[in-house]
Amino acid sequence: MDWFTEILHTDLAQKLRVDKVLYEGQTEFQDAKVLSNGRLGKVLVLDNVVQTTLGDEFVYHEMLAHVPLFSHPHPKTVLIIGGGDGGLLEEALKHPSVESVTMVELDGGVVELAKEHFVELNQGAFDDHRTNLIIGDGAKFVAETDERFDVILVDSTDPHGPGEVLFSRGFYADCKRCLTESGILVTQNGVPFLQASELAGSISHFRALFNEGSAYVITVPTYAFGMMALGWATDDKSLRQVDVATLEDRFKKAAFATNYYSPEVHKAAFALPMYIKRIID
């Protein structure tokens, strides 16, 4: 019996049984594997780090997309940085008010893998007429574009290698420049129990640049050893205070089903455990 061992930290690891190797090779930027696991289904692994699984991807993708998109009163334009598997794109396109989603992914090889092996996850989102897929550098895009977006979603790897710039103050400043007046920036910020400095750094940058910088938390089984944090930044403080009744109305009108997100979970996600509050404050 074969096992895949993911070692993100010097003193902790997690193991997944490999029932079958569906793909193994190199993209332009990284080593890539698609594995099959009896409980999690298909698993995407990049540079020996699990990125997503069919079994629990809904937690991450729903909460990264729907919290900002239901917080905003009428989001029309969305920018996704990263997100090569297409899961976040698929969730964003569920919102009827969204007229266009620009997705900038550095590694085109990941997109091609997703189109072949993760169609259950992206469900044709790359072919939606509202999708504008750009294979390129997301940091360069936000530094140079003249476009403006109601919501920017950063679906990045951890701050190592090509992903490191996506946690810098300069990148966040460029994101702010690309937002509309009441725009929202949401970012992937790791597991605070193990990556406290990553979260603290991002929130510090947010608070230097925006009227509000905070985080909300989700529980993704694959991202082990604690809650996962998603960073939140906006100049419109009222957007984090949208009441449950308003969220329920927007959710009902959107008329799509979810497996994790609900208006109540949306509100509760911003109630942070004390150890996380201490990290960001």
What's the pLDDT tens digit per position in 29-51? 999 999 999 999 999 999 999 99
Are the beta carbons of 153 and 89 closer than 8 angstroms?
no
Rounded Cα–Cα distance for residues 133 and 58 (Å): 22
Domains 2-53 and 57-280 belong to one CATH topology? no
For position 167, what pLDDT does the model report?
Answer: 87
Angle at 148 (CA atoms; ends 147, 153), nearest 5 degrees: 110
Query: What are the sequence ranges of the domains in the chain?
Result: 2-53, 57-280
Residue for token pair 């793909």: 23
For position 162, what pLDDT does the model report?
Answer: 67
Residue for token pair 């193994």: 24
Given pLDDT bands bounded at 50, 70 and 90, which one contains residue 148? Answer: very high
Given pLDDT bands bounded at 50, 70 and 90, which one contains residue 266? Answer: very high
Give me the chain's average pLDDT, please.
96
Q: Is 155 a catalytic residue?
A: yes
Are the beta carbons of 188 and 155 closer than 8 angstroms?
yes
Given pLDDT bands bounded at 50, 70 and 90, which one contains residue 9? Answer: confident
Residues 6+ apart with CB under 8 A from 178: 79, 142, 145, 147, 148, 149, 152
For position 165, what pLDDT does the model report?
Answer: 84
DSSP conformation class of 39: T
Given pLDDT bands bounded at 50, 70 and 90, which one contains residue 58? Answer: very high
From the number of C-beta atoms within 10 Å of its C-beta (0-12, 13-18, 19+), residue 262 rates as middle
Q: Which of 7-21, 78-92, 161-175 has the highest mean pLDDT?
A: 78-92
Residues 56, 85, 107, 155: which is the catalytic one? 155
| Residue 66 token pair | 């729907």
Rounded Cα–Cα distance for residues 172 and 170 (Å): 5
Regarding pTM above 0.75, the answer is yes
What's the pLDDT tens digit per position in 184-226? 999 999 999 999 999 999 999 999 999 999 999 999 999 989 9
Q: What number does CATH give the domain 2-53? A: 2.30.140.10
Write the class of the CATH domain 57-280: alpha beta
For position 161, what pLDDT does the model report?
Answer: 66
